[in-house]
Amino acid sequence: MAAAETYEAVHVEKEGGITWLMINRPDKRNAMSPQVHLEMDAVLDDLAVDSATEILVLTGAGNSFCAGQDSKLYFRANAGDPAARHKLRRASNNWRWQKLSTFPKPTIAMVNGYCFGGAFTQVTACDIALAADDAMFGLSEVNWGILPGGIVPWNVAQTMNYRDALHYAMTGDSFDGKQAQQMGFVDFSYPKEKLREETIKLAKKLMEKSPATLCFTKEAIRAVRFMNEPQAADYLAAKSDALRFNDKEHSREEGMKQFLDEKSYRPGYGHFKRKRVSA
């Protein structure tokens, strides 16, 4: 596996528990080349077990989040090579969905600019999505004569209103960050100059909470979406027990003690004081 410093098409910056992970092809509007996929596939494995990474922020270098698959290097260059296509499709889906949606720490997509086609998958895979007001989103595939790529139709059918998903996929019309917030595709949209500051604010808020509780909570929300009620009830009871067993900070006991005995906080207004233990 390549060391973080050797990555070229992706860039990693770590500061104060936040890891900024960027596609680093600003001159190509961060279109996803084969190299992007292979490097992202590797770097996410590193970061998943990296103790300096408490929160992962996915964004893009320059003025673009990601302009979708690189039509030249991902599609055209491999058109006659089924083996290469297979390998790249695997890497592309692995990092954008499997690895990102099951990442063991909170993930934030910070959509700083263009966000097209295949990039909708990694936005959906992140736990929380923030956008610049003037970010430009588009399911432009219909303008190329192709279907939205990979699992994008599945992603938008789940995160967008049914009518919006059909409308934007069929027209290829773009929409901005504010519209993305209105339709629930992102959580919040901010003026561009505030986006990073708001992202850091959110990351810091999440870092005050129990990491094990956050990890189990996001896993639970994702899993129950595909269950019926009896399955969900059974799964959640077991998940809850598993959290108590796995939480090295003993958050439940700590929270109860601080609320009931010490009366030092109220859960309705904010979090208890974490008893941090090293990973």
Rank residues 117 and 255 by Cβ distance to ligand COA and give the closer one. 117
Q: How far is the CB of 69 from ligand COA (least distance, A)?
A: 5
CB burial of residue 221 (10 Å; 0-12, 13-18, 19+): exposed
Residues that bind ligand COA (CB under 6 A): 28-29, 31, 67-72, 114, 116-118, 140-141, 149
Closest-CA residue to 108 (of 124, 92, 97): 124
Q: How far is the CB of 15 from ligand COA (least distance, A)?
A: 28
Q: How far is the CB of 104 from ligand COA (least distance, A)?
A: 30
Rank residues 103 and 116 by Cβ distance to ligand COA and give the closer one. 116
Please state, in angstroms and rounded to a whole number, the distance separating the CA atoms of residues 111 and 119.
10
Count the Cβ atoms, other than its own, within 10 Å of residue 85. 16
Rank residues 123 and 202 by Cβ distance to ligand COA and give the closer one. 123
Q: How far is the CB of 213 from ligand COA (least distance, A)?
A: 37
Rank residues 60 and 255 by Cβ distance to ligand COA and give the closer one. 60
Amino acid found at 229: E
The number of CA neighbours under 13 Å toward the Cβ of 76 is 4
Rank residues 34 and 117 by Cβ distance to ligand COA and give the closer one. 117
Helix (H) or strand (E) holding 227: none
- Which residue's structure tokens are 């959580």? 187
Beta bridge partners of 56: 19, 107
Residue closest to ligand COA, measured at CB: 68
Q: How far is the CB of 152 from ligand COA (least distance, A)?
A: 9
Helix (H) or strand (E) holding 200: helix 192-207
